[in-house]
Amino acid sequence: MGAGGRMVAISEERASRAPHARPPFTVGQLKKAVPTHCFRRSLLTSSSYLVFDLLVAGALLYTTTFFTFPGLLGYASWCLYWIAQVTGGTTAIQGGFPKTRSFVPKTKDKIGFAWLLYSNPAGRLLSIVITLTLGWPLYLLFNVSGRPYERFASHFDPNGPIFNESERYQVLISDVSLVAVGLCIYKMAFAYGLFWLLKVYAIPVLIVNAFLVLITFLQHTHPSLPHYSDAEWEWLRGALSTVDRDYGILNHVFHHITDTHVAHHIFSTMPHYHAGEATKAIKPILGKYYQFDGTPIVEALWREFKECVFILILMNHKPQGKQSCCLNYGSSI
């Protein structure tokens, strides 16, 4: 069998493992199964998580700045500071405050030259490194991996196609704020030196960017996840096209935004501190529609970059000669 035939066969097998038919339950039924208090949002509680993370990061920064630790202990103190910064930065962006947009997979004809990278181990490794280091800035600047638009789209352009009229003023405020922060960073570089700025600011930013892309990619990319054409897409079917992952101890570090993402997709306004309880409540109803993968994250990242390169259109026959269009992943092997 040729390469194309092998990819179709692999995708058809995956489609049988993950339900893609219209779910036999409704959002209302799922909501009734969740305790009412899980939907209550508390600004005080949400803010307490952020304040706690900032206090921990501030304490560690103070410790590393004003105390000198010998040898490996000094490096360990900086690593703890970076982890604390990652906790606050990643959770604030993905957790209880703003909503996030889903990773958008491409069809084979849209992959282009990237196919040369994905089709061999060295190129695949390079792709992972580029994605984790430059993926977030490229997404914000040029909407890379985001929803396609008819014209140039940037998350910094208030008049761009990404935003509606009510959001344009907010984007402008954000742009002005970023310029102000940039000027502060410039002043701090002169006041404290580039090496200090690298340790205190640049490294945490790079790590936060990497985890944002890693978490978002792995939440929406899995060999068993179906995707849908415009004709077949429905809100609930789309919401269920995500997977909870096990990040080990990092589940706690990230306040469980990593292992409760299915519930977040269904109830996007639910605060993250109730998502674990909601997940337990809806799992019996979701049944096979609930996707969870406990594969170690490094192994899962390599597998998804290898096996989830593009999406294929699979036509499934229905009664009366009608067909259902389900998109599943094609692989580079």
pLDDT along the chain (333 residues), means of 10: 32 53 95 96 88 86 81 84 76 46 70 82 95 94 89 95 94 96 94 92 91 92 86 90 94 90 94 95 96 95 91 55 48 59
For residues 218 and 224, give the distance between their C-alpha atoms in angstroms, rounded to a whole number: 12
List the one residue out of 291, 268, 320 whose CA is nearest residue 101.
Answer: 268
For residues 38 and 277, give the distance between their C-alpha atoms in angstroms, rounded to a whole number: 8
CB 263 within 8 A of CB 214: no
For strands 227-228 and 292-293, give the pairing: unpaired
CB 163 within 8 A of CB 171: yes
- Burial environment of residue 133 by CB neighbours within 10 A (0 to 12, 13 to 18, 19 or more): middle
> Which pLDDT score is estimated for 318?
45
List the one residue out of 250, 321, 249 whose CA is nearest residue 90.
Answer: 250
> Which pLDDT score is estimated for 320?
39
274: left (phi over 0), alpha (psi -120 to 50) or beta: alpha
Work out the angle at residue 236's Cα, subtended by the Cα atoms of residues 215 and 253, and round it to the nearest 5 degrees. 25
Tokens of 312: 């294929």
Instruction: Report the b/e string of 288-325 with b at 16+ CB within 10 A.
Output: ebbbebeeebeebbbbbbbbbbbbbebeeeeeeeeebe
> Which pLDDT score is estimated for 122?
94
Cα torsion 200, 205, 208, 209 to 10°: value is -170
List the one residue out of 293, 266, 292 whose CA is nearest residue 278.
Answer: 266
Taking the CA of residue 184 as centre, how many other CA atoms within 13 Å lie in the half-sphere pointing to its CB?
7
DSSP secondary structure, 117-183, as one string? HHTSHHHHHHHHHHHHHHHHHHHHHH-TTS---SS---TT-TTSTTS-HHHHHHHHHHHHHHHHHHH
3-state class of 274 per DSSP? Answer: helix
Query: What length is written for the chain?
Result: 333
> Which pLDDT score is estimated for 119?
85
